[in-house]
A and B are shown apart, each in its own frame.
Chain A
Amino acid sequence: MIRNYLKTAWRNILGNKFYASINVAGLTVGLVVGMFMLLWVQDELSYDKFNSKADNIYKIDIVGGTGISKQIFNNIIAPVATFAKNEVPQVQDAVRIMPVGNAPFRYKDKVFYEDNFAFADPSYFTVFDFNLIKGDKRNPFPDNNSVVITEEMAAKYFGTEDPIGKVVTLGQDEQLKVTGVIPNYPENSSFKYRILMPLSRFNDLAYIKNKKTYDNKTFISSIDADWSMFGFQTYLLLKPGTKVDVTALEKKLQAIHERNKPEDAPVPYLTQPLLKMHLYQADGTDGGFSTVRTFGIVALMILVIACINYVNLSTARSMLRAKEVSMRKIIGAGKLQLFIQFMAETTLLFAIAAIFAFALMFVLLPYYNQFSGKELSLGLSNYNIWACIGLTLLGTLTASSIYPSLLLSSFEPLKALKGRVTIGIGNAAFRRVLVVLQFSVSIVLIIGTLIIGGQLKYIREKNLGYDKENVLSFSMRNGMIPHYDVIKNELQKNPAVLGVTRAGRDIITGGSSTGDNDWDGKPANSNMWFNQVYADKDLIGFFKMNIKEGAGFTGAVADSSHFIINETAVKEMGLTNPIGKRLRVQTVNGTIIGVVKDFHFTTIHHKIEPAVFQYKPNDCWKVYIKTTGAGAQSAIASALAVWKQYNNDVPFNYTFLDDSFKKLYTDDQRTGSLFNIFSAIAIVISCLGLFGLATYSAQVKTREIGIRKVLGASVSRIIGLLATEFMVLIVIAIVIAVPVGWYAMNAWLQDFAYKVNITWVVFVLAGGGATLIALATISIQSVKAAIANPVKSLKNGE
Chain B
Amino acid sequence: MIKITNLEKFYRTEEVETIALNKLSMEVNTGEFVAIMGPSGCGKSTLLNILGMLDDPDAGSYVFNGVEIAHFNERKRADLRKHNIGFVFQSFNLIDELTVFENVELPLIYTGVSSADRVKRVEEVLDKMQIMHRRNHYPQQLSGGQQQRVAIARAVVNKPKLILADEPTGNLDSSNGNDVMELLTDLNEQGTTIIMVTHSEHDARYSHRIIRLLDGQTVMENIMV
Contacts and interface: CB of A to CB of B under 8 A. Distances in A.
Do A and B pair up? The answer is: yes
Interface stretch (B93-101, B187-195, B198-206): B93-101
A710 B97 contact: no
Given A704-B97, A717-B110, A712 B55 contact: no
A704 B94 CA distance: 8
Given A711-B106, A791-B55, A703 B93 contact: yes
A320 to B, nearest CB: 15
A711 B91 contact: no
Given A789-B55, A791-B55, A708 B82 contact: no
A90 B200 CA distance: 104
Interface in B105-123: 106-107, 110-111
A709 interface: yes
B78 interface: yes
Contacts of B55: 789, 791
A49 interface: no
A711 B54 contact: no
Interface in A36-71: none
A735 interface: no
Contacts of B95: 704, 707-708
Contact of B93 (A419, A420, A707): A707
A713 B93 contact: no
Interface in A750-798: 787, 789-791, 794, 797-798
A798 B91 contact: yes
A712 B110 contact: yes
Nearest to A787: B74
A714 B91 contact: no
A580 B94 CA distance: 95
Residue of B49, B93, B110 ringed by the most chain A CB atoms within 10 A? B93
A513 to B, nearest CB: 73
A794 B54 CA distance: 11
Contact of A711 (B49, B75, B107, B140): B107
Contact of A789 (B54, B97, B107, B140): B54
B159 interface: no
B89 A794 contact: yes
Contacts of B106: 708, 711
B149 interface: no
B87 interface: yes
A787 B78 CA distance: 12
B53 to A, nearest CB: 10
Given A711-B154, A712-B82, A717-B110, A791 B54 contact: yes
Interface string B60-98: 000000000000001100100110000101010111110
A773 to B, nearest CB: 28
A369 to B, nearest CB: 51
B30 to A, nearest CB: 21
A714 B54 contact: no
**Which of A418, A709, A710, A794 has most B Cβ within 10 Å?**
A710
Nearest to A794: B93
A713 B110 CA distance: 6
Interface string B149-183: 00000100000000000000000000000000000
Nearest to A712: B82
Contacts of B91: 798
Interface in A668-707: 703-704, 706-707
B73 to A, nearest CB: 12
Nearest to B46: A791
Given A789-B54, A789-B55, A794-B93, A712 B78 contact: yes
A712 B54 contact: no
Contact of B54 (A704, A717, A790): A790
B65 to A, nearest CB: 17
Given A789-B55, A798-B91, A711 B96 contact: no
Contact of A419 (B74, B96, B107): B96
A709 to B, nearest CB: 7
Nearest to B93: A707
Contacts of B107: 711-712
A787 B55 CA distance: 13
Contacts of A717: 110
A712 B160 CA distance: 12
Nearest to B98: A704
Contacts of A790: 54
Nearest to B157: A711
Given A704-B95, A711-B106, A791 B49 contact: yes
A787 B97 CA distance: 22
Contacts of A418: 140
Interface in A407-440: 418-420
Contacts of A703: 93
B192 to A, nearest CB: 17
Contacts of A787: 74
A570 B22 CA distance: 101
B24 to A, nearest CB: 17
Interface in B44-63: 49, 52, 54-55
A35 B78 CA distance: 53
A433 to B, nearest CB: 20
Nearest to A419: B96
Interface string B184-223: 0000000000000000000000000000000000000000
A789 B89 CA distance: 16
A714 B93 contact: no
Contacts of B111: 712
Contacts of B81: 710, 712
Contacts of B82: 711-712
Contact of A710 (B54, B74, B75, B140): B54
Contacts of B52: 710
Contacts of B96: 419, 704
A713 B95 CA distance: 14
A790 B85 CA distance: 15
B117 to A, nearest CB: 16
Contacts of A789: 54-55
Contacts of B89: 794
Contacts of B87: 710-711
A703 B93 CA distance: 8
A277 B135 CA distance: 73
A333 B53 CA distance: 46
A794 B110 CA distance: 19
B140 A714 contact: no
A789 B77 CA distance: 12
Contacts of B154: 711
Contacts of A797: 93
Interface in B128-160: 140, 154
A791 B91 CA distance: 13
Contacts of A711: 82, 87, 106-107, 110, 154
A437 B170 CA distance: 47
Contacts of A709: 78
B78 A714 contact: yes
A798 B166 CA distance: 15
Nearest to A420: B140
Nearest to A418: B140
A418 B97 CA distance: 15
Nearest to A707: B93
Nearest to B94: A707
A717 B87 CA distance: 20
Interface in A711-725: 711-714, 717
Given A712-B107, A713-B110, A794-B89, 14 more contacts: A419-B96, A704-B96, A706-B93, A707-B94, A708-B110, A711-B106, A711-B107, A711-B154, A712-B111, A714-B78, A789-B55, A790-B54, A791-B49, A791-B55
22 contacts: A418-B140, A419-B140, A704-B95, A704-B97, A706-B93, A707-B94, A707-B95, A708-B95, A709-B78, A710-B52, A710-B54, A710-B81, A712-B78, A712-B81, A712-B82, A712-B107, A712-B110, A714-B75, A714-B110, A791-B49, A791-B54, A791-B55
7 interchain residue pairs of minimum CB distance: A712-B82, A712-B110, A711-B107, A791-B54, A707-B93, A791-B49, A704-B95
